[in-house]
Amino acid sequence: MLTISNLTYKIGGRTILDDCNANIMDGWKTGVIGLNGAGKSTLFKLISGELQADGGEVTRPADQRFGMVRQDIPETDTPLIDIVLAADEVMADLWRRTETETDPNKIAEIYEKLSDIDAYSAPAKAAKLLTGLGFKEEELQQPFSSFSGGWRMRVALAAALFVEPEILLLDEPTNHLDLEAIMWLETYLAAYPHTLLIISHDREVLNRCIDHVVHVDNQKLTMYTGNYDTFEKERAEALGLQQKMFEKQQAEREHMQKFVDRFKAKASKAKQAQSRMKALEKMDLVDAVISSRAVHFTFPNPEKIPSPMIAISKADIGYAPGAPVLRQVHENIDHDDRIAILGANGNGKSTMMKLIADKLGVMAGEVNRSKKLRIGYFSQHQTEELDVNATPYEEMMKMVRESGGDAKEHKVRAKLGAFGFSRDLLDNKISTLSGGEKARLLFAFMSFDAPHLLLLDEPTNHLDIDAREALVQALNNYEGAIIIVSHDPNMIERVADRLWLVKDGSCDHFEGNLDDYREFTIQARREDRKKDKKKAKEKARANEAPQKIKNVSPIDQKQVIKVEKKIERLGQEKSDLEAQMSDPAFYQKDQDFIAGVQKKYDALIKDLEHHEALWLDAQEA
Q: Do 334 and 480 belong to one domain? A: yes
**288 pLDDT exceeds 60?**
no
Q: What is the pLDDT of residue 460?
A: 86
443 backbone dihedrals φ, ψ, rounded to 5°? -60, -40
Torsion sign (Cα): 182, 185, 191, 195: negative
> Residue 177 pairs with which residues in a beta bridge?
none
Q: Is 100 exposed, middle or buried (0-12, 13-18, 19+ CB in 10 A)?
A: exposed
Antiparallel, parallel or unpaired: β 506-509 and 498-503: antiparallel
C-beta of residue 260 within 8 angstroms of C-beta of residue 273: yes
Q: What is the pLDDT of residue 353?
A: 92
Q: Do 212 and 276 belong to one domain? A: no
In a domain, 287, yes or no: no
Among the candidates 511, 526, 559, a domain finishes at 511
**21 pLDDT exceeds 60?**
yes
Highest mean pLDDT among 130-144, 323-337, 388-402, 526-540: 323-337
Antiparallel, parallel or unpaired: β 212-217 and 220-225: antiparallel
| C-alpha span between 594 and 501 (Å, rounded) | 57
| C-alpha span between 365 and 552 (Å, rounded) | 49
Q: How many CA atoms lie within 13 A of 66 on its CB side?
A: 15
**139 pLDDT exceeds 60?**
yes
Q: Do 91 and 210 belong to one domain? A: no
When mean pLDDT is compared across 109-118, 126-135, 526-535, 554-563, the lowest value belongs to: 554-563
507: how many CB neighbours lie within 10 A of its CB?
26
Q: Do 222 and 83 belong to one domain? A: no
Q: What is the pLDDT of residue 250?
A: 67
| C-alpha span between 479 and 477 (Å, rounded) | 6
Q: Do 463 and 359 belong to one domain? A: yes
Tens digit of pLDDT for each residue in 69-100? 887 788 888 899 999 998 988 888 888 888 88
Give Cα 205 distance to the centre of its chain. Answer: 8
Residues 6+ away with beta carbon under 8 Å from 28: 195, 196, 211, 212
Q: Do 480 and 572 belong to one domain? A: no
Read off the pLDDT band of 276 (50, 70, 90).
low
Tens digit of pLDDT for each residue in 473-511? 889 999 999 999 998 888 898 899 899 999 989 999 998
Q: Do 341 and 463 belong to one domain? A: yes
Read off the pLDDT band of 289 (50, 70, 90).
very low
Read off the pLDDT band of 552 (50, 70, 90).
very low
Residues 137-149: what's their mean pLDDT?
86
In a domain, 181, yes or no: yes
**19 pLDDT exceeds 60?**
yes
Q: Do 158 and 171 belong to one domain? A: no
Residues 287-307: what's their mean pLDDT?
72
> Residue 485 pairs with which residues in a beta bridge?
457
Of the two residues 377 and 569, the one the predictor is more confident about is 377
Domain count, the chain: 5
CATH of the domain at 169: 3.40.50.300
Task: Classify each residue of 261-277 as buried b or exposed e, where b means 16 or more C-beta atoms within 10 Å of its C-beta.
Answer: eebeeeeeeeeebeebe
In a domain, 516, yes or no: no
Highest mean pLDDT among 169-178, 267-276, 348-357: 348-357
**588 pLDDT exceeds 90?**
no
Residue 275's domain comprises 233-282
In a domain, 293, yes or no: no
Q: Residue type at 522?
A: I
Tens digit of pLDDT for each residue in 298-334? 899 999 999 999 999 999 999 878 789 999 999 999 9
Q: Do 125 and 202 belong to one domain? A: no
| C-alpha span between 319 and 602 (Å, rounded) | 48
| C-alpha span between 93 and 82 (Å, rounded) | 13
The Cα-based distances of 355 to 292, 322, 368, 382 in angstroms read 39, 16, 11, 17
Q: Do 119 and 179 belong to one domain? A: no
Q: Do 217 and 238 belong to one domain? A: no
Among the candidates 182, 210, 226, a domain finishes at 226
Q: Do 342 and 267 belong to one domain? A: no
In a domain, 525, yes or no: no
Q: What is the pLDDT of residue 291?
A: 45
Among the candidates 163, 185, 205, a domain finishes at 163
